[in-house]
Amino acid sequence: MLVPLVAAMLAACRAPGAPAGAPEANPQATENVDIPTLSAPSQRPVVLPVVMPPRHITVDAATPLRPDSAARVAPTVTEGAGFLGRDDEQTLSRLCNAPIERIERNRGGSTVSFRVWFAGGERGLFKPQQRSEVANYRAELAAYRMSRLLGLGRTPPACGRQVPRAMLQRVADASGDAAFSQRVMTELLGRGEQVPGAMLYWVPGQLEPVPDVARYPQLLGDGALAPGDAALAADLSALLIFDYLNDNVDRWSGGNILRPRRTGDTPTPMLFMDNGASFSALHEGLGARPEEQAARIARVSHFPRALIARVRALTLDGLRAAMGADPLGACLSDAQLGAVLLRRDRLIARVDAAIAAQSAEAVLSFP
């Protein structure tokens, strides 16, 4: 058994420090609606649609609006699988560059975000830079790139983009919610007239919570896997690895483990979304809540073989190249990159100890 190793991991993590922030409710789970695609602001004036009460802003073609960037370019992300096995390059190009035709408040959740409609009818979600500690837009950008590097393909595409502050404030003022209007005025960050943020792909269709995720200690603990639980167990193992590397401290706060709604017996994939409370370099790189994260990964005794091989292969140069591929610059600092590799080393030590105590076949149970 691995009790000594687990105790050592927990002991190594015991350091004082404040948590990353209050848990974030998942707005997409709350409303059970599509996930948005994000893009830069339109170059045309804004007029209010006739809606009672007014909720969104429509961009009119008459007069150009100040551009959000003199020259935007889509990031080139060539490593690993795209979202759900697709080619993400066209999606990223639209997220980075497509004109915005309509924008409105995204209701649900504790942070500020906006739904976006692009020219051509596609949709996005804009998560602006803001004061909330669980809404780091660069963490959303980095999590997508990490998903690509690890070959997971479960995190929606994301591109850094700026939107005019005046446009977002008009949307907030038109929402009919004075408190929300005040939050947009006082909580959004940025320099001058532009607010940077993450433009995220809006997953088509409705989303629903993945059932039985709280059973992961039973599903992934020592012992043989039940055949009927293999798919859920494999997804949970991959998610726990992803969140341990990234230090996502908000995953288990409730409503943050979703999948596209099933319409029959056909299974739908677990999505690794809502990553704004990730990539802390606190506690000498162990993360914002190291004891919680270490205790969670210590309960896992079954791992995906291919994913562990990719985790072993991570390098500082490879991470730096992947995290630098965004129009708004590097997604992570050198300290954050070093923290990812430190957590990687601890994760691999956990896996290797499990293999030594059992066997590679027993521990690397998933493809």
**Per-domain boundaries in the chain:** 3-22+207-363, 30-201
Mean pLDDT value of segment 307-316: 98
pLDDT tens-place string over residues 14-44 = 333 333 444 444 444 433 333 333 333 333 3
pLDDT for the residue numbered 11: 43
pLDDT tens-place string over residues 248-262 = 999 998 889 999 998
In angstroms, how far is the first alpha carbon of the chain from the final one?
Answer: 24
Q: Is the pLDDT of residue 157 over 80?
A: yes
pLDDT tens-place string over residues 44-70 = 333 223 222 334 455 433 333 333 443
Distances (CA, A) of 140 to 86, 158, 227: 19, 7, 34
pTM of the model: 0.80
Helix (H) or strand (E) holding 244: helix 230-246
- 35, with CB counted inside 10 A (0-12, 13-18, 19+), is buried
Instruction: Report the sign of the C-alpha dihedral through residues 190, 82, 299, 29, in that order.
Output: positive
Can you read off the two tokens belonging to residue 341?
């590799």
Listed in sequence order, the DSSP H helices in 98-229 are 137-149, 165-174, 178-187, 216-220
